[in-house]
C-alpha cells in the first residue's frame, strides 16, 4: 500500500542559506520513499502539519490551497487504484504522480528521444 504525506526535505543539499527547507510530497511504497517537490521553501514555523496551513509568505493562502488540493487528489487516486499500484515499482509510481498531478513530463532518455525522432521521420501516409 502506497502512502503519502507532506513534509520538509531537510537534507543539507536542499536547505537555503536562511534555513528554509523545501516542502515535498513524500511517497512511501514497498519500503522505499521518494520526494516530489512543491517548489516552495519554508521555515519550519511557516507550515502547520496538523492543518496543512502555510503562513508568513506571499500568497500563503494560494499555496495552502494548492498543496492541499494536490495532496487530496493524489490520496484519492492512490486509494482508487490501490490494486494495480501494489505491483508497481517505486519509480513508476513517482513518475505517474509527477505526470498526473505535477504536470511534469517524463524524462527523455536517449532511447525515448530516438523513438520520437524516428516516428517523426515516418511519412504520414505509410504504416510500418
Cβ 54 vs Cβ 42: under 8 Å: yes
Other Cβ atoms less than 10 A from the Cβ of 88: the count is 16
- The tens digit of pLDDT for each residue in 13-60 reads 989 999 999 999 999 999 999 999 999 999 999 999 999 999 999 999
pTM exceeding 0.85: no
pLDDT at 104: 87
Does 128 score more than 90 pLDDT?
Answer: no
Cβ 77 vs Cβ 27: under 8 Å: no
Q: Is 3 helix (H, G, I), strand (E, B) or coil?
A: strand
pLDDT at 98: 94
Which is higher by pLDDT, 116 or 42?
42
pLDDT at 126: 55
Tell me the mean pLDDT in the region 80-92. Answer: 94
Does 81 score more than 80 pLDDT?
Answer: yes
Amino acid at each position: 500500500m502506497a502512502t503519502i504525506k507532506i513534509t520538509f526535505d531537510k537534507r543539507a543539499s536542499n536547505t537555503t542559506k536562511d534555513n528554509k527547507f523545501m516542502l515535498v510530497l513524500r511517497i512511501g511504497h514497498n519500503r522505499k520513499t521518494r520526494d516530489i517537490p512543491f517548489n516552495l521553501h519554508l521555515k519550519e514555523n511557516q507550515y502547520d502539519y496538523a492543518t496543512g496551513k502555510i503562513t508568513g509568505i506571499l500568497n500563503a493562502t494560494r499555496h495552502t490551497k494548492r498543496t492541499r488540493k494536490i495532496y487530496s487528489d493524489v490520496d484519492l487516486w492512490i486509494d482508487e487504484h490501490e490494486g494495480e499500484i501494489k505491483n508497481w515499482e517505486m519509480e513508476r509510481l513517482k513518475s505517474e504522480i509527477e505526470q498526473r498531478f505535477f504536470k511534469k513530463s517524463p524524462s527523455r532518455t536517449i532511447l525515448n528521444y530516438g523513438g520520437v525522432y524516428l516516428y517523426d521521420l515516418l511519412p504520414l501516409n505509410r504504416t510500418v
